A and B are shown apart, each in its own frame.
Chain A
Amino acid sequence: MVRTKELDFPELAGLFQRMTGDEKHTWAAASTLHVLWVLYDRVLNVSPERVDDPDRDRFLLSKGHGPMAFYAVLVAKGFLEPEVLDTWTEFGSPLGQHPDRVLVPGVEISSGSLGHGLALGVGIALGLRAMGRARPRVVVLVGDGELDEGSNHEAIALAGRLGLGQLTVAVIDNGSATHGWPGGIAERFAVEGWQTATVDGRDDEALHRAFITEHAGRPLAVVAAIRQETT
């Protein structure tokens, strides 16, 4: 399953096209693209050889809708063969419109219904803590619209109070929440005791700096702001 040569960022376009048949460049508009790339290329301590290593980092795609960028990055990093992309959403394919951890190696959670990944991430962080595994990070990707689900706010408050320093949330903020978040999304996390950073969601360097910010004893929220007009 594992290839020796990893693919680079520009090659994601071709991988996208294998799923969507898209001849244009709408792949680049995928709001999660840069966050996923920076995480898998420079931040997460994961590899196809270590999908069951208890000390691996965990990436949880809570916002399971629109997983093409996720699948493309998994292919680029050797978790999946590119050929499997051609079967996307077919019966019998491991790849659907929402990812299933039972079907795809390297996919940590099955998602699709919004508002589940954060509590699962809190549970994983608590499990790692209970086992004395202080090194692995747990990174959960959510969308700003997804934060409408109240279940997130149960988990945000709990993670802050428990000081889960191993937990990081990446919030893709493309302004899709119907009623918005007055005062900004980061403030929702800050008042619960999280360390926060708000950066340009297409600026790889800024995202990288945000993800490696020291945040000992507190969970970290990185709000990746996506301005649609810059696509």
Chain B
Amino acid sequence: MSDTPPGDTVLEVRDLHTHFFLRRGVVKAVDGVSFSLKRGEVLGLVGESGCGKSLTALSLMRLLPKGGARTIKGEVLLGGENILQHTPAEMREIRGRRISMVLQDPQTSLNPVFSVGDQLREAIERRRKGASLSEIMKEAVAALRRVEIAAPEQRIGQYPHQMSGGMKQRVVGAIAISGEPEVLIADEPTTALDVTIQLQYLKLLKRLQAENGMAILFITHDFGVVGRMCDRVAVMYAGRIVECGPVKQIFEAPQHPYTRALIASVPKMTGPAGRLTTIEGQPPSLMDLPVGCRFASRCALVEQRCLDAYPRSVRVGDAHTADCWKVSPP
């Protein structure tokens, strides 16, 4: 369990830049991302495909894909220490112990040729060096019980293919939290699950969080999940966070034109079922970003200064900021 008192910042990301250096040019996939995460808090990171949300997560874990991706600037402070400066050996101590990750597809996160028990054991052993096998297996059963898997004593000897998608994702969750991390990064953990199973999984995550007070960075493209899970939300567009604030404020009074358009384009379960609002056009190429606001080419409110310079970040309310020239401070 983490020693930080509630409300304290456990993770702070400052001006993170992760680019792909390719022969064709530089893809600025993450280009100046800053946010902080408090103990016991859930921060949602939303955006469309290619906005850089998953690469932000991989940068924090220092698990960048091979082939030219490099974090060239910025700081990732975990409990005050910049982990971008750590050696690979020091990072291995941090991963799974202080920061863990759950990915979208439980099918590929688990090894198909090892039993669930073996995979849990691997995670628990690292933390409890010198413990006997029976102690570790007892703990593995307890870990499965914590993620509400029925009959964990039988399940522990089974292989991933013998389990359903929802159950596999629970096992992944059990492995991720077995090291009692301070920060859990959940990258679209429910996208591959059916809706009734999704609800079960989100509620489980909430319960686990209440138990051990970890902070969660929840990456998703689904505003429904944000409304259910998150305390604050950061909206990403073309490599940058364009708006960040408490969930309620973002939903009720979004300030950035992109956030507004994005929320308006979601089909609703109530109200008139007529035509949907759309955002015309495409996001800019990350190889050839405009100097000004990145949303300018699709924005209805665009004016000259939006094209000339990237907007300053405006504080529009309590812990609520938006990067837009057309937004003025209250």
**Do A and B associate with each other?**
no
Q: Which residues of B contact A (CB under 8 A)?
A: none
